[in-house]
Structure 1
Amino acid sequence: MVRYHIFVEGRVQGVGFRYFVQMHAQSYGLTGSVKNLDNGLVEIYVQGESDTIDQFLATIIKGDGRFIKVDDYSCKAVPIIPDERRFSCQYY
């Protein structure tokens, strides 16, 4: 089990990216959260098995082929949250 703190930049706000991330995280059985930041980035915390997170990242970085376009992202390991049970979309 691992947990990552991820920042995503590109055309990722106002295009349904948070919902896209949440939908795929849930389909992979991952927990965590996603939210827009004031600086135009999207912040993601994701927790699960390393291989599954790799697949999840490959999916969201590819985008939806229409509106979402990820230009870059950064990812660092952070401590896991043992009792986390779901993936949520956070709003301001």
Structure 2
Amino acid sequence: MPVVARHLMIHGRVQGVWYRAWTVDTAHRLGLVGWVRNRADGSVEAVVEGEEAAVGQFQALAHDGPIAAKVARIDATDIAATPFTTFEKRPTV
């Protein structure tokens, strides 16, 4: 299966609701690699990479996120794959 990578900007009530922890758990469960971090503007940014079906499933699940989140929209852009080895939580920028 081909590997795809997608950059996601997740907007709404997504900070202070365990969204990053949910993202890490969900990415691990789906066999994805990449990273997630909070942004100073209140959004969450992520890069997810893996099999196309798993990336699509992750993106669909990200519209709900953890129970306390209220996702308004996700801006998604396909990007070149990078050789990540795990999925990690990064510091806020």
Q: TM-score range by the shorter chain?
A: over 0.9
Once residues 60 and 8 of structure 2 are traced to their aligned partners in structure 1, the CA distance between those partners, rounded to angstroms, is: 13
Task: Measure how far apart 1:59 and its partner are.
Answer: 1.4
Once residues 38 and 13 of structure 1 are traced to their aligned partners in structure 2, the CA distance between those partners, rounded to angstroms, is: 10
* Deviation string, structure 1 residues 43-83 (Cα, Å, up to 9, x no partner): 0001011111111111121223x3111110100011111x3
In the comparison of the two structures, how many residue pairs are matched?
A: 90
Q: Percent identity?
A: 31
What secondary structure is seen at the aligned counterpart in 1 of 2:76?
strand
Q: Which amino acid aligns with 1:76?
A: T
- Say whether the 8 Å CA contact 2:33–2:87 is kept in structure 1: yes
Q: Which runs of 4+ in 1 moved over 3 A?
A: none
Once residues 55 and 69 of structure 2 are traced to their aligned partners in structure 1, the CA distance between those partners, rounded to angstroms, is: 19
* Deviation string, structure 1 residues 18-67 (Cα, Å, up to 9, x no partner): 00011000000000000000011110001011111111111121223x31
- Say whether the 8 Å CA contact 1:20–1:60 is kept in structure 2: no
The RMSD of aligned alpha carbons is 1.0
Aligned residue for 2:91? 91
| Aligned match for 2:47, one of 27, 45, 66 | 45
Once residues 15 and 49 of structure 2 are traced to their aligned partners in structure 1, the CA distance between those partners, rounded to angstroms, is: 22
| Aligned match for 2:61, one of 59, 69, 84 | 59
Structure 2 residue runs of 5 or longer lacking an equivalent are: none
TM-score, structure 2 normalization: 0.91
What secondary structure is seen at the aligned counterpart in 1 of 2:62?
helix
Q: Which amino acid aligns with 1:45?
A: V
Aligned residue for 1:24? 26
